[in-house]
Amino acid sequence: MTTVVLGLDGGCFELIQPWIDDGTLPTFSKLTEDGVASDMQSCLPPVTCPNWQCYATGTNPGKLGVFWWEAVDRDARTIENRSSAGDFDGTHYWRLLEGDTAVVNLPTSYPPSEIDGIHVAGGPGAEQAGYTQPESLEEELRERYDYAVHPEKMSLLSGDNPDNECVPEIYDLIDMRFDVLEDQLESGEYELIHVTVFYLNVLQHFYWDMDVVKRAWERIDERVSQLLEMQELENFFVMSDHGSNGIETTFRVNTWLEQHGYLQTESSISDYLHRAGITQERVRPILAKLGVEWWARRLLPERVQMLLPDEEGSVDKSGKADVIDWESSQVVASGQGPVYVLADHPQERERIVDELVDDLEGITDPDGNPVFDQVLRGEDVYSGPYVDRGPDVVLDQAAGVHIEGKIGHDGAFGSPSKWHGENKDTGMFIAHGPEIDGNESLTDMHILDIAPTLLHLHGGGVPERMDGDVKRELFAAESEPANREVQRIDAEDIDSAESRTVESDVADRLEDLGYME
């Protein structure tokens, strides 16, 4: 008998509850009625990177050493991508289980690690080859399922046009993940199987609650129904890395910082490319239609790719580092929340943090709506050895707000363009099975609680390093895990996940998804 954890990137009841209520998602209705279902708090900022690793390790970003897709190095004056497996300092909870496990499509887990079982890595970094352990599994997946890590036509996604060639590819990827899940479950080889459906949230980013997203959820609902009928399944968990909501306002944090004197910029190659009409929006769809986009990316120097501006002349990703006047700037921000103070001296850094928090609190959009739910100091959000590496201020964006990290736009506020849905810190959690108390109500579930709870369910000890709690109240009163005391173990001797260097077009993949805006 096997425990299955189904990860739905961006899944949330805020989006699907109306579809549950009107009968569109009968399986999710059954799961929420017979099992335990609740909202679930994500780590801030509520983003794929680092929240999938927060789930897998049970630790907060201050211990992982990764806080968002990109990292600002104050000393080196650089901005680099941080989303590969070797960037994270942590141990995945399934490594502590006695039985074999199958981990399929976990985002930010490339390159794949060797585990007792199989590991099929998710992106970014993972392309259509070299993403499995054991290596021989890749050919089997390709032959049996025509398996793919990503859709081929990502650049054709447009928030204004749901009728494009990439959407059917994403539907196929959803079915592909479930095909693999069902076969691995039927094999009876695994104590635990984790599968992530990642591109669900990409659809939500571009189309939020449109029919194209509803059809994806209907497909998932049908596949979960089939899964629940399989006799090999014992306990079933559904979770997300964060939630989602519709975008009403775009706040360009670096534009605001520049307007208020915290950030200084200078001319770069991007300005000349923009004047010549060479932009992301014009170049990438053409290459995609010609089928040569990824070849072009591999042939063009990486710095040229990073400096390609958008239609408005703004630059994002690591190309931002080339337009910042580092000597004159005090602050620079990433999208979706992290803000870094650049001062070298601790007292000066603290002074700027105080001033910045005061200036940011109370900001409203042109209609008078709050832009942030909270403006928090990094030290109050994170704990662990890497807190000093992380952001000094964390912006908890308000409902309906998308914080962009691009540099070079004239206005601090705008309307949704590329995306129509944004992440929020309220994800979803469901537990269902013979050892689950279906009458229990959870009010404080956190993404960090999943790993220790699953370890306890499977009879294992919980490392002291984990930040989450075992939710024993989930379990039926007569069940063994409900009546067993939680065992905390000293995990200092547990090896962290193997660190490897990844050379890939990670930044470009993130650009296609829209995460680096």
Least confident segment among 74-78, 307-311, 424-428, 466-470: 307-311
What is residue 299's predicted lDDT score, i.e. its pLDDT? 47
What is residue 294's predicted lDDT score, i.e. its pLDDT? 47
CA dist 123 and 107 (Å) reads 5
Give 144's contacts (C-beta < 8 A, 6+ positions apart).
183
Identify each DSSP E strand in 398-500 by its residue range: 401-404, 413-414, 421-424, 426-432, 462-463, 488-489
CB atoms within 10 A of CB 414: 16
**C-beta of residue 450 within 8 angstroms of C-beta of residue 469:** no
Residue 4, CA atoms < 13 Å, CB-side half-sphere: 29
What is residue 287's predicted lDDT score, i.e. its pLDDT? 54
What is residue 267's predicted lDDT score, i.e. its pLDDT? 62
CB burial readout 90-121, b (16+ within 10 A) else e: bbbbbbbbeebbbbbbbbbbbbbbebebbbbb
**C-beta of residue 270 within 8 angstroms of C-beta of residue 38:** no
Residue 266 has pLDDT above 80, yes or no: yes
What is residue 516's predicted lDDT score, i.e. its pLDDT? 47
Residue 282 has pLDDT above 70, yes or no: no
For residue range 28-59, what is the model confidence (pLDDT) as tens digits? 999 999 999 999 999 999 999 999 999 999 99
What is residue 156's predicted lDDT score, i.e. its pLDDT? 87
Distances (CA, A) of 298 to 163, 294, 319, 506, 517: 29, 6, 17, 12, 22
CA dist 476 and 461 (Å) reads 20
Which residues make beta-bridge pairs with 197? 8
- Secondary structure class of 356 (helix, strand, coil): helix
Average pLDDT over residues 473-491: 93
Please provide the average confidence, as pLDDT, over all residues in the chain: 88
Give 485's contacts (C-beta < 8 A, 6+ positions apart).
none
Q: Which stretches of 22-107 are DSSP H helices?
A: 26-34, 48-57, 61-64
Distances (CA, A) of 219 to 28, 61, 158, 194: 12, 33, 22, 19
Q: How far from the centroid of its chain's Cα atoms is residue 369's Cα?
A: 26
Residue 502 has pLDDT above 50, yes or no: no
Residue appearing with tokens 């998804």: 513
**C-beta of residue 13 within 8 angstroms of C-beta of residue 430:** no
Least confident segment among 14-23, 120-129, 349-358: 120-129
Residue 304 has pLDDT above 60, yes or no: no
Domains assigned to the chain = 2-246+422-492 (3.40.720.10), 249-420 (no CATH)
| Per-residue pLDDT band at 305 (split at 50, 70, 90) | low
Q: How deeply is 390 buried, as exposed, middle or buried, from its count of CB atoms within 10 A (0-12, 13-18, 19+)? A: buried
| Per-residue pLDDT band at 295 (split at 50, 70, 90) | very low
What is residue 501's predicted lDDT score, i.e. its pLDDT? 32
Of 498, 450, 454, the closest CA to residue 59 belongs to 450
| Per-residue pLDDT band at 290 (split at 50, 70, 90) | low
CA dist 284 and 270 (Å) reads 16
CA dist 36 and 491 (Å) reads 30
Least confident segment among 105-109, 367-371, 504-508: 504-508
Comparing 217 with 312, the larger pLDDT belongs to: 217
Indicate if the alpha-carbon torsion angle 307, 313, 318, 320 is positive or negative.
positive
Query: Quick one: tokens of 306?
Result: 């990073």
CA dist 226 and 82 (Å) reads 37
What is residue 278's predicted lDDT score, i.e. its pLDDT? 52
Residue 15 has pLDDT above 80, yes or no: yes
Residue 258 has pLDDT above 90, yes or no: yes
CA dist 180 and 200 (Å) reads 17
Give 272's contacts (C-beta < 8 A, 6+ positions apart).
none
For residue range 207-242, what is the model confidence (pLDDT) as tens digits? 999 999 999 999 999 999 999 999 999 999 999 999
For the CA atoms of 392, 418, 238, 198, the dihedral, rounded to the nearest 10 degrees, stands at -100
Which residues make beta-bridge pairs with 404? 252
For residue range 337-351, what is the model confidence (pLDDT) as tens digits? 999 999 999 999 999
Residue 495 has pLDDT above 50, yes or no: no
| Per-residue pLDDT band at 445 (split at 50, 70, 90) | very high
Residue 296 has pLDDT above 70, yes or no: no
Residue 19 has pLDDT above 80, yes or no: yes
According to the 3-state scheme, what is the secondary structure of 165-198? CHHHHHHHHHHHHHHHHHHHHHHCCCCEEEEEEC
Q: DSSP for 139-167?
A: HHHHHHH---SS-S-GGG-BTTB--STHH
**C-beta of residue 96 within 8 angstroms of C-beta of residue 493:** no
Average pLDDT over residues 376-400: 97
Average pLDDT over residues 287-295: 52
Least confident segment among 74-83, 315-324, 432-441: 315-324
Average pLDDT over residues 5-25: 98
